[in-house]
Structure 1
Amino acid sequence: MTGKTSRQQSRNAIMMFLGMMLVALNLRPALTSVGPVLKTIGDSLSLSSVGQGVLTTLPVLLLGLAAPIAPRAARKLGMERAVLAALIILGVALAARPYLGVSGLFLGTAVAGGCIGVMSVLLPGIVKRDFPESASLMTGIYTAALCTGAAVAAGATEPLRLAFGNAWHPALAFWAIPVVIAAVVWWLQLDGKQVPKAPRAPKKSLFKDTLAWQIAFYMGLQSSLAYTIFGWLPTILQDRGIDAVNAGLALSVSILMQVPSAIAAPWIASHMRDQRAMVVLVMLAILIGIGGSIYAPIEGVWLWVVLLGLGQGGAFSIALTLLAIRARDAETAARLSGMAQSVGYTMAALGPLFVGILHEKFDSWNVAGGFLGLIAIGAIIAGLGAGRRRYVLDQ
């Protein structure tokens, strides 16, 4: 009996791990698949730079606005079933959005962002609950899977458009397929088990905690840079003379470079006194990468996108790590995750929108580059506060 129970536990752990990795792979393609074909979509639907900026902003905004829904859904359905519901809705939104006109494209993109926002809040709690002895390792692997999914979508969407006879509609709808696969595997791993309900949040609010706000601002500002790059880097590079396929490939390479730094940065930081030095290092890499991509000779673009990716992978994984290590217990970590992602992603949504507005007004990327530099400096300031060895809700 003991052997059978042990085998069942091992099977459950393997299925949960596989399900989580498949879910993580689907947390960014809805966003990164748009950038490589953004100019084509804009020409097809007569969208201005501002309209294109809104399209890249919507899913990020919904990441933040939908985050508070996650704990309510978890209390009602259980965390696993809430993730399954979000996957199903995400798949429908991705399949339908290219074929419903301008309003359908915007609505589907917004719904996709909301679903991703719910799952992004719930998955870290599942990691801490089901893999308590290896939460840091699982977070790194989960982040690497997320970055891989983002990179594949960024690099493959434009070739898919060409393969589908220059049609961007099926190229975007294609990304519903891996969502369906993830939903099936996630459903199978539930296996009829009773799903524990999330506890009700205590009355003490994180919104009155200075450290929590510093973490939220760091999460938001580094995310603002990330989603601006997801949405606009291919267009920037095309405007600088690179063809559409190579512009999408550059974004894909940049995102792929996030994988090693996403795993390495938290591990290296764990051997330091705190995370402040690592915050400065990864944000400087982002700052140099963005500057090189916009202002430096275009022949060196591959160096800049590699540096940009290394910085962004480290910045994002450090942000996720802070959600865990700045809380004294798993319940507080889950609450901090919800608060920081709600505030942070809502703030992050302004980045792609303002970049679109600045490009429209000045018909150049130079001013937009300066704006992104200011965001990076703000992230360093917030990260220096968040990186100190302290805990939220400590008096």
Structure 2
Amino acid sequence: MVKHSSRWFLFLALVLASINLRPAITSFAPLIERIASDLALSRGLVSLTTALPVLLMGLLAPLAPRLAVRFGLERAIALCLATVSLALSLRLFGHQEWILIGSAVLVGAAIAMAGPLLSGYIKRYFSDRMGKIAAWYALSMAIGGTLGAVVTAPVTDYLGGAWNLGLAAWTLPALLAFAIWLRLPNQPEASARNASGLPWRSGRAWLISLFFTLQAGLFYALVTWLVARYHEAGYGILHSNTFFSAFMLIGLPSSFAIPWLVQRFGHRYLWMAACGLVAACSLSLVAWAPQWSPLAVCMVLGVALNGSFSLSLVLPMYEASTPLDVSRLTAMMLCSGYGLACLSPILVGIGRDFAGDYQKPFTVLALLAVCMSLLALRLRPKLVMAK
């Protein structure tokens, strides 16, 4: 049993690691048009800075249980944070496009491993209050994603407008988290027997994974192109960034509040379906009526997508019985989810290049949100997933 004083340090480590899982991706959003212009890159190519990490978060997630068995859960997470720090520091040289895209590859690899490992970490140390800690986990990631989206542009302006310095500034919090994790005692996994097996034959695991795929695809498409959509609709960059900041900032309370409400009132799958329906309505307005209360629409959209993300994130912790099993189910969810979700920023960028505007790509996103809502209705509560 972990001592009470030690649990606060374990909780601090979890929060710092979670915060650093998103700024390396979301920090591109307010700068993406500037980067594309400076480096003379097409929108489809520059979207790789967001799409590649998401792709690798899917493809490499199955390796996370093996990493835990090889190095121990805590040291494996520390290694992931070290890799994030290295990737962010390389962005100092981001005017070389191959370095910029290469840093996205490193970020994706590190986050791919860290996600399943942190789910197992919560199961190991906080199994007696898993719902509450999982809500803090989701909130911490939302804080990191929001800070990356909101703070990067002002920091870049403060540093003389050098976007490579604005991107690289996120190295500092990543190094702080890495230093904290080095102080944690390492607990090796008892057995590697199930480390390589993911629950690919479980229909329930696939339902969970498909829901995660849809909500992640919507989120990363918006992280990449929401500012550009409102700019195209006639708003200035400042106003467009304000709408995007509202979309991200509202995720802070909603990513915590919605899991708390679900834990209190139950029926989490109905809440997931409601989030999908609200996202569909909001995206329809962004596509066809961008002049209609854009600040309110973006805030409602942020509540829906951050709520669906936090609810899907905690599912493996309730579905599996051991830390390693949680990591395995989470790895499958992230592998299939991010492996497909990474296509959404690219397809929206390509769709805009071909269609000449963002209306049609955002209409498709609204239809995907409807599919997400229908899929949630197919899910039913289950205490422990069959192995």
Contact 1:211 1:385 survives alignment (8 Å): no
Alignment-derived partner of residue 119 in structure 1: 114
State the alpha-carbon separation in 2 of the partners of residues 291 and 306 from structure 1: 14
Q: Which runs of 5+ in 1 are unaligned?
A: 1-5
Alignment-derived partner of residue 355 in structure 2: 362
Between 167-176 and 97-106, report the one with greater CA deviation: 97-106
Q: Percent identity of the aligned residues?
A: 28
Contact 1:158 1:248 survives alignment (8 Å): no
Question: Aligned-pair distance for 1:184?
Answer: 1.3
Question: Aligned-pair distance for 1:200?
Answer: 2.5
Please say if 1:83 is aligned against 2:70.
no
Alignment-derived partner of residue 3 in structure 1: none
Q: Which runs of 5+ in 2 are unaligned?
A: none
**Could you tell me which amino acid in structure 1 is paired with residue 188 of structure 2?**
P
- Please give the TM-score of this superposition, normalised by the length of structure 1: 0.92
- Please give the TM-score of this superposition, normalised by the length of structure 2: 0.94
Please say if 1:338 is aligned against 2:323.
no
Alpha-carbon distance change, 9 to 221 in structure 1, aligned in 2, over 3 angstroms = same
Please say if 1:24 is aligned against 2:24.
no
Alpha-carbon distance change, 206 to 392 in structure 1, aligned in 2, over 3 angstroms = farther
**Could you tell me which amino acid in structure 1 is paired with residue 121 of structure 2?**
I
Alignment-derived partner of residue 303 in structure 1: 296
Q: Which residue of 84, 90, 99 maps to 1:96? A: 90
Q: What count of residue pairs does the alignment treat as equivalent?
A: 385
Equivalent residues in 2 for 1:198-213, closer than 5 Å: 199-202=191-194, 206-213=199-206
Alpha-carbon distance change, 176 to 49 in structure 1, aligned in 2, over 3 angstroms = same
State the alpha-carbon separation in 1 of the partners of residues 36 and 122 from structure 2: 39
Between 219-228 and 233-242, report the one with greater CA deviation: 233-242
State the alpha-carbon separation in 1 of the partners of residues 218 and 301 from structure 2: 10
Show CA shifts across 1:254-300 (max 9, x none): 12211222222223333556333111211122222222233224361
Alignment-derived partner of residue 150 in structure 2: 155
Alpha-carbon distance change, 267 to 201 in structure 1, aligned in 2, over 3 angstroms = farther
Question: Aligned-pair distance for 1:74?
Answer: 0.7
Question: Aligned-pair distance for 1:61?
Answer: 0.5
Secondary structure at 1:335 match in 2: helix
State the alpha-carbon separation in 1 of the partners of residues 166 and 198 from structure 2: 44
Show CA shifts across 1:157-185 (max 9, x none): 11122222222110111111110111112
Alpha-carbon distance change, 239 to 273 in structure 1, aligned in 2, over 3 angstroms = same
Equivalent residues in 2 for 1:208-247, closer than 5 Å: 208-247=201-240
CA RMSD of aligned residues (A): 2.1
State the alpha-carbon separation in 1 of the partners of residues 284 and 35 from structure 2: 27
Contact 2:58 2:335 survives alignment (8 Å): yes
Contact 1:206 1:392 survives alignment (8 Å): no
Please say if 1:197 is aligned against 2:213.
no
Contact 1:53 1:357 survives alignment (8 Å): no
Alpha-carbon distance change, 331 to 242 in structure 1, aligned in 2, over 3 angstroms = same
Show CA shifts across 1:285-341 (max 9, x none): 222222223322436111011001100111011101222223355443222111111
Please say if 1:248 is aligned against 2:223.
no
Contact 1:124 1:334 survives alignment (8 Å): yes
State the alpha-carbon separation in 2 of the partners of residues 242 and 110 from structure 1: 33
Q: Which residue of 158, 176, 191 maps to 2:171? A: 176
**Could you tell me which amino acid in structure 1 is paired with residue 45 of structure 2?**
G
State the alpha-carbon separation in 1 of the partners of residues 278 and 227 from structure 2: 19
Please say if 1:140 is aligned against 2:135.
yes
Alpha-carbon distance change, 394 to 285 in structure 1, aligned in 2, over 3 angstroms = same
State the alpha-carbon separation in 1 of the partners of residues 143 and 356 from structure 2: 33
Runs ≥4 residues deviating over 6 A: none
Contact 1:283 1:380 survives alignment (8 Å): yes
Show CA shifts across 1:22-47 (max 9, x none): 11111110111001100000001111
Alpha-carbon distance change, 27 to 310 in structure 1, aligned in 2, over 3 angstroms = same
